[in-house]
Amino acid sequence: MKNDGIINYEKRLIAFIDLLGFKNAVNKTADGTIEGYNIKNNIDKIMNFNEGVQKINENSANAQIVNAETNERQPLTKTKITFFSDSMIISMPVDDKYYEQFLTKIVMFSTEYAKQGFLVRGGMTFDKLCHTGNICYGPAMNKAYILESTVANYPRIVVDNKAVKELGEIGKKFIVADKMDNMYILDYLYSKKCVHANNKYKKEKQEKELKKILNDLTEIKNNVDKNITKHKDNERILIKYQWYKNYYNDTVKKVEKDFSQPENYLNSYLIK
C-alpha cells in the first residue's frame, strides 16, 4: 500500500525564537534619523551574521567525519536552521552526541542578537516535526510557537518538560529554573560564559577570555540601559527590560564567581 498523503514526521528538538522589537526597529530605519541609521547598521550585522552561520551550518551538514569509536561516517552537524522575518527556527533529530552543539548554537545566536540591541523570546520542545529547507510544521512547531507567544512573556527562551527530559544531563549545563516562577529557561547568557570559565585554561588565556566576555556584557548592558530609559513610561515594555536586568545582573555575579574574581569586583558591569 502506498503512503501517499502520509507526513513523514520525526521526533526533533526545536526552538522557535523571536527578536523582540524587530518590526518597529525596521520601521525606524526609514525615518532618516541618526538613530534609524544606527539601527540599520545593527540589523545589517544581524543579517550578515545569520547568513554566515547558515552557510557554515549547511556546509557542516554536508561534510562528514569518521567517528573514532564506531569508525562510522557521520555529519559535522544535524542541526537545521530557518530564518524568516524577525524569527528563526532551529531543530535537530534524536542524537545526544549533537545536543550540546544544538544548544550552543542557540546560545550563540541569542547573545549576538542581544549585543546588537535585540532581546529574544522563544520556546523549546521535543515532539513530531517536519523540517525540510524553509518548510517547518508539525505538533512540535505548534508547541514551540505557543511557548514563545503565550508562555514566555519575558525576553527568555522557555524549555518545556519534554525537551528537558530529552536533553538529560547535557541540558543541565544550559537550562535553569527561572527564580521568578520556576519555569525552565535556556540560560543563554551564562551558558556561553560558564563553558569558557570551566575550561582549564592557563591564567593568561583565562584573563583574555574574561576580557572578551566582559566586552560582550558591556555591549548588552549599554543596549539595555538605553532601552530602560527610552521606555520608562511604557509599563508593558519596561517590565520586560526589568526582568532582563535581573537576569543580566545575575549573570555578571556568576561570571565573577566562576572566574574567581573578588566579591563585587565586577559591580561596574551591573545594570543599576
| Cα within 13 Å of Cα(146), Cβ side | 8
* Residue 254 dihedral angles phi and psi, to the nearest 5°: -65, -40
Span 145-173, pLDDT tens digits? 999 999 999 999 999 999 999 999 999 99
Span 19-59, pLDDT tens digits? 999 989 999 899 889 989 999 999 999 999 999 998 999 89
CB 271 within 8 A of CB 250: no
Strands 135-137 and 157-159: unpaired
User: In sequence order, what E strands does 138-257 have?
Assistant: 157-159, 175-177, 184-186
Closest residue by Cα to residue 95 from 39, 3, 168, 15: 168
* Residue 41 dihedral angles phi and psi, to the nearest 5°: -60, -40
Span 173-202, pLDDT tens digits? 999 999 999 999 999 998 755 555 555 556
Predicted TM-score (pTM) of this structure: 0.89
